[in-house]
Structure 1
């Protein structure tokens, strides 16, 4: 009782001391949490500033300001407006003309407009900053291979299988004990110390490890499969985000031209040369371009979020991407590509490893019916005779009722299923490759058609339309239609480029995708060892 009170007193004192230290401990925990929060991902995260499209669209343009719109104008002002329009018609149209977008070299659309010197310097500084901080495809691939949760999940599953392999080959522990007999009869009591050991027969422990060896190979191929899936997804999401970034740049550039078109149409109204439909058509074109810019901005944010989620950085704010959309359009040797994928695909290698595992498990289950030996050796003293004694015992279960027939049948069925899984995987790879080939060839033909036929004609049409308008042969509405056709042709060209890049990434990635899909868990545990030690 005294000892209990003493311990209680010690506990009370310790508790009182801890209560006194509680504020200090809380402060230390808070400081530690604040320090840990800065290194949440284990790598330095760089947040990249981006240009707000609305701020660019709302910036005052030097030549787009509308003149005073008083309703009471005198004839001299109207005549002056007409003279100004006639003299400025050539210069204004040429200042609003659009050059080819030139996505083969990954440059934004260039406008032949005069920009104030201060704004051009700021734009240059911002461009240099964004380019220096832009994410390249190689950087994103390296980051994704280190931080993608699905890859880490597959690696943990492989480590788990290695642990099970170590366990299933362990021999059973010996049993050491004591046995006493006739203890109530003085002078006739017997005392024996014994050691008992089970001997696993049929080489079952080694066969257990053979099964788990194939399971480990399967899990390692699963890790490699997931790595390629992640790389494919990173490349596809990168090209999607890059295309959205290009569409946004193109829309911002064309929005400037459309805004000046509205101003020019309003000036024609004031000069008694234009019509109300011209103004409405110019405003419609401007609104459509603004909608394209907003849609491209939303598409970029969505593609950026998906890209960073695959790369393992879902909280990284949108920045800029540094890369090219251009992909070689030359036809490929598809027979050689198919042979290479079938010979080196980690997905197919994993299916073959599971087939080998099923074959090893069938061999293991056939050995289960071989009974284990149970040995016991004891030595002691018999006081009734005054002499020492040695006892021994050997036993084994007789497989009469249970010869593991059910497990053998199940293992044989799994063996057949695994062989068909190899065939199914081969067919699935060929089917996906056929789809990727179709997408690649369609996109390549589209890109070539735009590069060689459509875009040059759209550019020539734009130049001829503007020249015809200067000569008085085209009206303003026709020029707007030609500009819109040119803009839409460039958007379609970007869409064809991203389709080609996605198809090429799919082919180069062994037609594997799904970088955030759940990986295959190991199907075995240490149960084979428990089965090996049981003769029933």
Structure 2
């Protein structure tokens, strides 16, 4: 159990085996606003399928900490090889390299093995969606907007009072109790509701956009970490080969069959593999820290991830996809809600000059005549000097501004898609070429180099370089898979990224109600 408190936020994180599940997030002063209805909270049907949060599965195994992957070392004793018999050296090399390392082929979709016992993408998404501070912040802005919407539709309170006249003239004094009420005209309160309802709708779409941003950023880093895990496995495997190669080079030199160049080249190869291993571990640790920050739980412990990297390559109609993303994006939907708000605001300002009516009704007694009395008073302000011209002009300009903002967002989506299309097409080209050409060629080159070395046609350095080439191509293939997964995640998330950037608080205010009753 990890428990921490930061500025009113209390996080409880339970670690069960290799699955980490976020506990309750208690936000001081934040609770569900009663003015937001269940219907408004429900997500649009077109987005529900993409927004489903899977409940994370909890493993019963023990806690797992982030540990470096150790490299197994194997030292071959010089006594195991007869220094004077070169045939023994050949036999020893055959034992050292019984078969070449198998290349990573691109299996068909659905045939890839899945790591078991780790944390899945759905687990991380569930944690992030529950604890990301930007989502909590936007949830609060929707509550604000709902509160303002409720406030601007409330009717005025009546005024009750007492009036006394001629109180100093005993026997002729008059006493009156009255009630005064302002009656709103031109359907102003309903128009107020339309303006703030569009505001709330826009904020709900902004909240949905933030969920997609969090989900996309988590997916990108999940696949980055998954690729780094896979690369560490490859590095650990090749590290054993490099270690054995160095030992064998030393033994060959001591037996008079090798040269110092062979030993130095073997040392260089081993050092390069070790450096790549350290750098990959550092990258994985950094990516995990990013995941923890996006999830809103900096204390989130590293757990090995389970999943598969994509290999299936689909041909994408980028123009059709651009149209789909624009029409389905909650970011663009929020912009259209703000256009609706601008038109509602103009309609509201146009009726503002129509005056409300104030009525006063009083009842009392006149002791001068010993009879009852009634008093009725009705009044309206005259819209002579102030006809709300400035607010109407500003509302017209707001319509233009909101329309241009929607156009800007549309163009921004298309611009982001152009960048992602380049990343996607570049990654698919690399995966296709690596799986069909480069990796098979690297494997064949390694096999030929092994055979040529055993036949005495090439030197020991050449076999090391062939293995290094094979090793590098496998790592690059995994990199291409990671890039493809990142591009696909951006497409699935409507190109929305930036889980921790500042959010848009456009929840409005209750000034329309003040304007309704000021009449000035």
> Scaled by the length of structure 2, what TM-score is found?
0.84
Distance 1:36 1:218, change over 3 A: closer
Mapping of 1:241-256 within 5 angstroms? Answer: 241-256=225-240
> SS of the residue aligned with 2:377?
strand
- C-alpha distance in 1 between matches for 2:207 and 2:66: 39
User: Which residue does 2:409 correspond to in 1?
Assistant: 425
Distance 1:198 1:147, change over 3 A: same
> SS of the residue aligned with 2:84?
helix
Distance 1:99 1:105, change over 3 A: farther
| Partner residue of 1:67 out of 61, 64, 78 | 78
2:219 matches 1:235 = yes
User: Which residue does 1:215 correspond to in 2?
Assistant: 199
Preserved contact between residue 193 and residue 380 of structure 1 (Cα < 8 Å):
yes
Preserved contact between residue 66 and residue 303 of structure 2 (Cα < 8 Å):
no
Cα deviation for residue 51 of structure 1 reads: 7.2
- C-alpha distance in 2 between matches for 1:497 and 1:345: 26
2:98 matches 1:94 = yes
Cα deviation for residue 50 of structure 1 reads: 5.6
- C-alpha distance in 2 between matches for 1:87 and 1:441: 47
Cα deviation for residue 68 of structure 1 reads: 7.3
Distance 1:217 1:336, change over 3 A: same
Preserved contact between residue 141 and residue 507 of structure 2 (Cα < 8 Å):
no
User: Which residue does 1:85 correspond to in 2?
Assistant: 89
Cα deviation for residue 309 of structure 1 reads: 3.0
Preserved contact between residue 172 and residue 368 of structure 2 (Cα < 8 Å):
yes
Preserved contact between residue 106 and residue 435 of structure 2 (Cα < 8 Å):
no
- C-alpha distance in 2 between matches for 1:99 and 1:258: 16
Preserved contact between residue 194 and residue 378 of structure 1 (Cα < 8 Å):
yes
- C-alpha distance in 2 between matches for 1:177 and 1:372: 21
User: Which residue does 2:472 correspond to in 1?
Assistant: 488
Which string of whole-angstrom CA distances, capped at 9 and with x for unpartnered residues, describes residues 475-502 of structure 1?
A: 1111111111111111111111111111
User: Which residue does 2:258 correspond to in 1?
Assistant: 274
Preserved contact between residue 135 and residue 211 of structure 2 (Cα < 8 Å):
yes
User: Which residue does 1:467 correspond to in 2?
Assistant: 451
User: Which residue does 1:111 correspond to in 2?
Assistant: none
> SS of the residue aligned with 2:78?
coil
Cα deviation for residue 60 of structure 1 reads: 4.2
User: Which residue does 1:446 correspond to in 2?
Assistant: 430
- C-alpha distance in 2 between matches for 1:158 and 1:186: 61
- C-alpha distance in 2 between matches for 1:77 and 1:262: 18
- C-alpha distance in 2 between matches for 1:68 and 1:525: 86
- C-alpha distance in 2 between matches for 1:512 and 1:187: 81
> SS of the residue aligned with 1:321?
coil
2:23 matches 1:41 = yes
| Partner residue of 1:435 out of 419, 433, 452 | 419
Cα deviation for residue 105 of structure 1 reads: 7.9
Cα deviation for residue 396 of structure 1 reads: 1.8
Cα deviation for residue 36 of structure 1 reads: 9.1
**Structure 1 stretch displaced more, 281-290 or 223-232:** 223-232
> SS of the residue aligned with 2:516?
helix
Which string of whole-angstrom CA distances, capped at 9 and with x for unpartnered residues, describes residues 132-167 of structure 1?
A: 431112332333333333223222222221121111
- C-alpha distance in 1 between matches for 2:191 and 2:66: 63
2:516 matches 1:505 = no
- C-alpha distance in 2 between matches for 1:296 and 1:253: 14
Larger radius of gyration: 1
> SS of the residue aligned with 1:385?
coil
| Partner residue of 1:400 out of 372, 384, 401 | 384
> SS of the residue aligned with 1:133?
coil
Mapping of 1:123-162 within 5 angstroms? Answer: 131-162=115-146
Cα deviation for residue 327 of structure 1 reads: 3.6
Aligned pairs, how many?
Answer: 468
The RMSD of aligned alpha carbons is 2.6
> SS of the residue aligned with 2:180?
strand
Cα deviation for residue 457 of structure 1 reads: 0.4
- C-alpha distance in 1 between matches for 2:450 and 2:349: 83
Cα deviation for residue 339 of structure 1 reads: 2.4
User: Which residue does 1:124 correspond to in 2?
Assistant: none
Cα deviation for residue 513 of structure 1 reads: 1.5
The structure with more helix, counted as a fraction of residues: 1
User: Is there any run of 5+ residues in structure 1 with no aligned partner, and where?
Assistant: 1-34, 70-75, 107-126
